[in-house]
Amino acid sequence: MTKQQMLNNLKRECENCYACEIGKKRTNLVFGAGNPDTVSVVLIGEAPGEQEDLQGKPFVGKAGQFLDEYLQKAGIDRNKDLFIINTLKCRPFVIKNSEKGIKSNRPPKKEEKLACETFMLKQIEIINPKLIILCGNNALKSLCGSKYTITKVHGTLANLEYKGRKAIAIYHPSYLISYVHSEEKNKEFLEDLKYIKSLIK
């Protein structure tokens, strides 16, 4: 069986998962995107947002556009070089205005992360990447443990790994565009991506 066939089977399992409340409320499952038979790098984000839930694809909203811009600047081809997944496959949200049906993203809950973890770990086992990019604190802590913090470990291969596979953490684009608004941090983000490019070429 090819990696793609194994992932297709896993996706079917995932589509039948309603273990937590967001599974029952999703518009689309966001399983992941990329060619598992050719890539050697998996990028793990946090969770789908509004656009991802609507389109069923990872990183296609504002954060995704920012990520795409910086990947391009660093010379990384999202479609050719990466398989992109999230720690959660469904959008975590709260209802902001029930009359207008306005939803707002929220961070994943512990029980949601636990319910979805096996899917993420199976995706990694199937794709078997040489390098894992952990995009943001949530992905970093989910895979490598809560003692790590993105501001301290981003951009270095020093001590992160998952079952013998190298891992490297980068800031989450949403953190850069919605919270810090710092040219300095954007520069660090680009430097980290350029370093990743040097590792995968």
Cβ-based nearer residue to ligand URA, 86 or 186: 86
Size of the site for ligand URA (CB under 6 A): 13
Q: Which two tokens stand for residue 118?
A: 């096996």
Residues of this chain, 77-136, that bind ligand URA according to CB under 6 A: 86
Q: Which amino acid is at 140?
A: L
Binder to ligand URA among 23, 34, 43, 46 (CB under 6 A)? 46
Check binding of 63 to ligand URA (CB under 6 A): yes
Check binding of 143 to ligand URA (CB under 6 A): no
Spatial distance between the Cα atoms of 201 and 198, rounded to a whole number of angstroms: 6
Residues of this chain, 159-198, that bind ligand URA according to CB under 6 A: 174
Q: Could you tell me if 55 and 28 are in contact, meaning their C-beta atoms sit under 8 angstroms apart? A: yes
Name the helix (H) or strand (E) containing 50: helix 50-55
Check binding of 47 to ligand URA (CB under 6 A): yes
Closest to 199 in 3D by CA, of 166, 171, 173? 166
Check binding of 36 to ligand URA (CB under 6 A): no
Beta bridge partners of 44: 85, 134
Binding site for ligand URA (CB under 6 A): 45-49, 52, 58-59, 61, 63-64, 86, 174
